[in-house]
Amino acid sequence: MDFLPKNRARIENMPVLPYAIEEAINRLRVNISFQGSNIRKIMIISTMPDEGKSFVSMQLWRQMAEADVKSVLVDLDLRKSVMIDKYRICQEDGGRILGTSFYLANDIFLEECVLRTGIGKGDILPNNDNLVNPSMLLEGDKLEDTLNALAENYRYVIIDAPPMNLVSDGERIGSLCDGAILVVRGGETPKKMVHNSMRQLERAGCPLLGIALSRVQGSGGGYYYKQYGKGYYGSNYGYYADGR
Ligand SMILES: Nc1ncnc2c1ncn2[C@@H]1O[C@H](COP(=O)(O)OP(=O)(O)OP(=O)(O)O)[C@@H](O)[C@H]1O
Ligand SMILES: [Mg+2]
């Protein structure tokens, strides 16, 4: 039986992107689609805060949904998610959005929490209750079961994660995903720290699908995307620049 979210949401503040950024995200989407049908649960991660994870997750999800690919965006930044406020997401019936941490902490059907949006084939599970310590929720079996249930119902489960350097949340989430996109803020994040994140992903058994360089000078503030093939340090990676 088809998974049918009970509630609908409006996303009132979705920005229109400059062409170069829209194109770079599109390239990321196309590259992901070439990774094969086993790659369904994809974590968007970065080393440090503020590198552009939530932006990439939201835009990648939107483009997939608009391309008629059934996709769900899962907000797993349970400590300091700003998605609902930033994009002005509201439930159409005026009800309170339950969200990821509420779902994980309570005995409730997933269909009550995932929201259908007006954006193509896109559904979302935002987080509405930020927690000081969500480790118990992330470590429990329920998260794994939830992501697997979503992966059976959606072609892509795009997961917005917290940064890797602060807490172990990212590693835990990565261990449940089929792959990760590492967002790196161009010219800001020290290489050593990026390599640390790559090692953490490796330890979590989460293949690195690609690196999205954000806010790169000379690219119109856009994204470069570097693909690392199927492995961690695959030799046949391509390099894509946008905006020129
Ligand atoms: N390519 C870009 N060019 C300019 N600004 C950007 C770009 N991508 C994201 N931003 C801005 O940078 C800020 C941080 O982005 P975002 O919230 O996506 O980062 P994050 O990695 O999710 O942060 P956090 O670690 O707090 O979750 C936001 O204000 C966002 O609008
Ligand atoms: Mg974020």
* Domain ranges (residues) in the chain: 7-240
Query: Which of the ligands is closest to the CA of residue 13?
Result: 1
DSSP state of 22: H
SS3 137: helix
Expressed in angstroms and rounded, the spacing between residue 150 Cα and the centre of ligand 1 is: 26
CA of 40 to the centre of ligand 2 (A): 20
Of 97, 101, 146, nearest to 117 by C-alpha is: 97
> 3-state DSSP call for residue 65?
helix
Q: Which residues line ligand 1 (CB under 6 A)?
A: 46, 49-55, 77, 163, 214-215, 221-222
Ligand 1: nearest atom to the Cα of 183 = 21
**The two three-digit tokens of residue 68, written as one number:** 């008629």
* Number of Cβ atoms within 10 Å of the Cβ of 97: 19
The ligand 1 atom nearest the CA atom of 214: 1
pLDDT at 231: 31
Give the count of beta carbons closer than 10 Å to the beta carbon of residue 44.
26
- Architecture label for domain 7-240: 3-Layer(aba) Sandwich (3.40)
Q: How far apart are CA 14 and CA 61, in angstroms?
A: 12
Residue 214 is predicted with a pLDDT of 87
Distances (CA, A) of 112 to 5, 18, 176, 189: 6, 35, 23, 39
Note the pLDDT of residue 1.
64
DSSP code, position 159: E
- Determine the distance separating the centroid of ligand 1 and the alpha carbon of 17, expressed in angstroms: 13
Instruction: For residue 87, give the nearest of 7, 187, 9 by alpha carbon.
Output: 9
β-strands 224-227, 239-240 pairing? antiparallel
Q: How many whole angstroms from 172 Cα to the centroid of ligand 1? A: 22
Tens digits of pLDDT across the chain (244 residues): 689 999 999 999 999 999 999 999 999 999 999 999 999 999 999 999 999 999 999 999 999 999 999 999 999 999 999 999 999 999 999 999 999 999 999 999 999 999 999 999 999 999 999 999 999 999 999 999 999 999 999 999 999 999 998 789 999 999 999 999 999 998 888 999 999 999 999 999 999 999 999 877 554 444 554 443 333 322 222 223 232 2
